[in-house]
Amino acid sequence: MWYTTHMHTATALALPNIAFIKYWGDQDPCLRIPANGSLSMNLAGLYTRTRVTFATELPEDTLTVNEQAITDVGLERVSTLLDCVRELAGVRLFATVESYSNFPIGAGIASSASAFAALSLAASAAAGRQLTESELSRLARSGSGSACRSIPGGFVEWQAGSSDEDSYAFTFAPPEHWDLVDCIVIVNQAHKAVGSTAGHALALTSPLQPARVQDAPRRLDICRRAILQRDFQAFAEIIELDSNLMHSIMITSTPPLLYWQPATLAVMRAVQELRQTGIPAAYTIDAGPNVHVLTQSSSASQVIAHLARLDGVQQILTASPGGPAILVEAGC
C-alpha cells in the first residue's frame, strides 16, 4: 500500500493485431474467455501509446483518447481494468490515462487490442508491479479479448482455455519469421455502429456458431502450420475461410450484423482475381467494412497499386509483423 504523495507513472506502447483465425463469441463474457482459440500477427507501424499516472490528488479516474476526454463506457471499461491493477498491487489511488493511437480507431483495425494491451502494461508498471507475459496477457484479455494477443510479439496464438488462469496468448513465431505485409484497405473511417463486445454476445443466436466453434481446432492447426511453413496458398485459403465463417455468424445472428459495404466486396473480389494471376494476396475482415489484404513484401507495391484503383477505396495503410508491447518510460 502506498502512503506517499508521489506520482507513479509509466508509458507503454502496444501494436494492434490482425486475427487470421478469429475470436467471435465467448464461453464467459465477463472474463472474456473465448468460445475458440485464435491466431494473429502484430502490426508494426501502427501503435497505441498510453501513459498511466496514479496520483494522490485525483478525485477519480480520467481518460483522454487522442486528446479528447472520454467519460462514457470507454472510461468505465478502463476504470474496471485499473481496479484489477489496484487490487493486484494494493494501490488506492485514482489515475489519469492518456492514450494516443496513430490509426483510425473503432473501424475494425483492432484499436481496443492495442489500447488495452498498452493500458495493462502501463498501469501495472505505474502501480509498481512487474507482471510476466502471460499475466499481462490475461490482464489485457479482461479489458478486451483480442488485446491479450497484442502483449506477445510476432505471430501469436491465444489458447482459449476455460478459466482466467489458462486463457492467454503467446508467440509461436517471431516477427522476422515471415515477411508478410498487411495492406489495410480503408473504405470507411467511421466508428462502427455495433462494437465487438455486443457482437460476441449475439454469436450464439446464429445456428451456425456451434459448427464454426467445433471446427476451430482444425482451422487453427492448418493456419499455424501454413505460417510455420510459409505456405502462402494454404495460408490464404484458411484465413479467407475463417473470415467468411465469422461473417456468416454475424449476418445470421439476431439481430443480424452486416459490416460489409459495396467497396468491401469489391476488394474481396479483386484479391481473389490477383491470386488467380499468381500474385500472393488474401483477405480477412474484422468487425468493420475495411479489408486487411495480406501479401508478401516482394508483391506489396503491386497489390497496393491494384487495390488503390478500386471505387470506394479511401486509403491503404501497410504494416509488417511487429513486436511485443513495451514499456517506454516508467518512474515516480
Helices (H), the chain: 73-89, 111-126, 133-143, 196-202, 209-214, 216-228, 232-251, 262-276, 300-308
Tally of CB atoms within 10 A around 44: 17
Give least dist CB 7 to ligand DP6, A.
29
Give least dist CB 256 to ligand DP6, A.
15
Do 171 and 152 meet the contact criterion of CB atoms below 8 Å apart? yes
Distance set, CA 8 to CA 64, 76, 168 (Å): 18, 21, 27
Closer of 33 and 91 to ligand DP6 (Cβ): 33
Tally of CB atoms within 10 A around 305: 10
Closer of 29 and 207 to ligand DP6 (Cβ): 29
Q: Stretches 43-51, 142-150, 184-192, 232-240: which one binds ligand DP6 (CB under 6 A)?
A: 142-150
Do 97 and 85 meet the contact criterion of CB atoms below 8 Å apart? no
Out of 9, 38, 142, 188, the only residue in the binding site for ligand DP6 (CB under 6 A) is 38
Residue type, 187: V
The phi and psi torsions of 42 (rounded to 5 degrees) equal -75, 150
Closer of 89 and 287 to ligand DP6 (Cβ): 287
Give least dist CB 32 to ligand DP6, A.
5
Closer of 22 and 86 to ligand DP6 (Cβ): 22
Q: Is residue 185 near ligand DP6 by the rule CB under 6 A?
A: no
Q: Is residue 146 near ligand DP6 by the rule CB under 6 A?
A: yes
Question: Strand, coil or helix: what is 94?
Answer: strand
Closer of 21 and 89 to ligand DP6 (Cβ): 21
Dihedral angle computed from the Cα positions of residues 115, 117, 122 and 125, in that order, rounded to the nearest 10 degrees:
170
Closer of 134 and 302 to ligand DP6 (Cβ): 134
| Residues in 257-286 that interact with ligand DP6 by CB under 6 A | 286
Task: Give the three cell numbers for residue 79.
Answer: 476504470
Out of 115, 223, 267, 287, the only residue in the binding site for ligand DP6 (CB under 6 A) is 287
Q: Is residue 292 near ligand DP6 by the rule CB under 6 A?
A: no
Q: Is residue 110 near ligand DP6 by the rule CB under 6 A?
A: yes
Give least dist CB 170 to ligand DP6, A.
16
Q: Is residue 319 near ligand DP6 by the rule CB under 6 A?
A: no
Out of 36, 62, 101, 144, the only residue in the binding site for ligand DP6 (CB under 6 A) is 144
| Cα(136)–Cα(325) distance, integer angstroms | 10
CA angle 37, 43, 44 (to 5 degrees): 145
Closer of 62 and 150 to ligand DP6 (Cβ): 150
What residues make contact with ligand DP6 under the rule CB under 6 A?
A: 19, 22-24, 32, 38, 110, 112, 144-146, 196-197, 200, 286-287
